[in-house]
Structure 1
């Protein structure tokens, strides 16, 4: 679907608004992120230029594809209204296998956090291997 939207925009100058995960749109230059507002809060955008400045229609994303990054501060602060936590729900009463707790522990490992960051999710903490996170800069993430 995203390819069709981009083709329509590039060939026929047809506009569209849609939702896609960062991993689907990262590296292209036809779709621009919208700033969203939650009630009376100031607008918030999930992506920013590498220097931290906002992406606006005046920014030419095609000259430097992938020049933007996930704005971790906006996501972590809760200001971006479409951000949500990843949750593992499991019973604590030992009525079932303790797999839920083990799965949650696995998700918190360095390797799992790196894999989650690769698909555009914000890791819980800065990662030791920055090369594992092409979509997310983790240097400015607060410690949990």
Structure 2
């Protein structure tokens, strides 16, 4: 090789060596990230790698006793998932607080958060404009972090012979336009719709806002204290109907969870088929149809939210950490086991 050609190749060789060096550094960084559990940037858990995130990998979990409250829909998560979080992070102590007056619910939990009575709250609906305005007036910022998928199931008395309802028929029943089961293709029977009061929880607020389109309840709607009371009334009253979070309805032995559809005769059951008759329960129970909720083919689905403060306070860190824990693969698996649908 001539001396001129050697001089012309030297810059190319140096460039190649530099490129290989950079690739080696980058590869080393990637391996370090993988081996450290997938944390990046500001130390928050990177949830992109499925199957690699556990409770103990979440960063910035504060120590202390933190009060929280809110939605009754979240009761299975509080019962089944929170103890797992506490076992992984014993210094991250959580205490559920009921409101001073009235029944617990999403709205009351958010009000307690705005009044600095809670560190964070659990909600079955997103923040509304009024709550955001109240937070701004008090110099606060709130954020709603989605952590799970839920849906509303319609419970009817098992003796009510009806294959399913459209969402519009549910609307017509609860606004008083439909009062007899003959109007929805069932034998002659007076329909008695039950509901909790609008001020009692996020599920009712969501139902009025998103399902009824902000229409008021008809005068035919009978108010009950809570879902336990509502399901008891449905089991005892022929022609009765009630709505609640799907996990609260689907596995019940005393009521029939009704298939729903956006159009007539295109009904989607909230439970996994085949249908389990009442007389075979509790030996056999319906299981939640996770797939139709996750895919959105079931017509009334929603998300569950952690409502947290959006600042640098200890309360804000607690709310963000609680949401991060639930969003790990371990948290999502526990949420699914508690009867809800994974968000991811």
Distance 1:72 1:114, change over 3 A: same
| Secondary structure, aligned partner of 1:68 | coil
What is the deviation of 1:75? Answer: 0.7
**Counterpart residue number, 2:234:** 5
* Aligned residue number for residue 254 of structure 2: 30
> Pairwise mapping of residues 1-144 of structure 1 onto structure 2 (< 5 A)?
1=229, 2-6=231-235, 8-9=236-237, 14-25=238-249, 27-39=251-263, 42-49=266-273, 53=274, 55=275, 59-65=276-282, 66-88=284-306, 95-97=311-313, 98-99=316-317, 100-110=319-329, 112-124=331-343, 144=344
Match of residue 132 from structure 1 = none
Shift of 1:48: 1.9
Secondary structure of the structure 1 residue equivalent to 2:257: coil
Q: Which structure has the higher relative contact order (CA within 8 Å, separation 6+)?
A: 2
For structure 2, the 5+ residue unaligned runs are 1-228
| Aligned-pair CA distance for 1:73 | 0.9
* Rounded Cα–Cα distance in structure 2 between residues aligned with 1:41 and 1:86: 29
Distance 1:104 1:117, change over 3 A: same
Contact 2:247 2:288 in 1 (8 A): no
The answer to whether the 8 Å contact 2:253/2:285 transfers is no
Asked whether the 8 Å contact 2:247–2:340 carries over to 1, the reply is no
Deviation of residue 103 (structure 1)? 2.5
Unaligned runs of 5+ in 1: 125-143
Structure showing the higher helix proportion among its residues: 2
TM-score computed with the length of structure 2 as normaliser: 0.28
| Cα drift, residue 72 of structure 1 | 0.9
SS of the equivalent of 1:81 reads coil
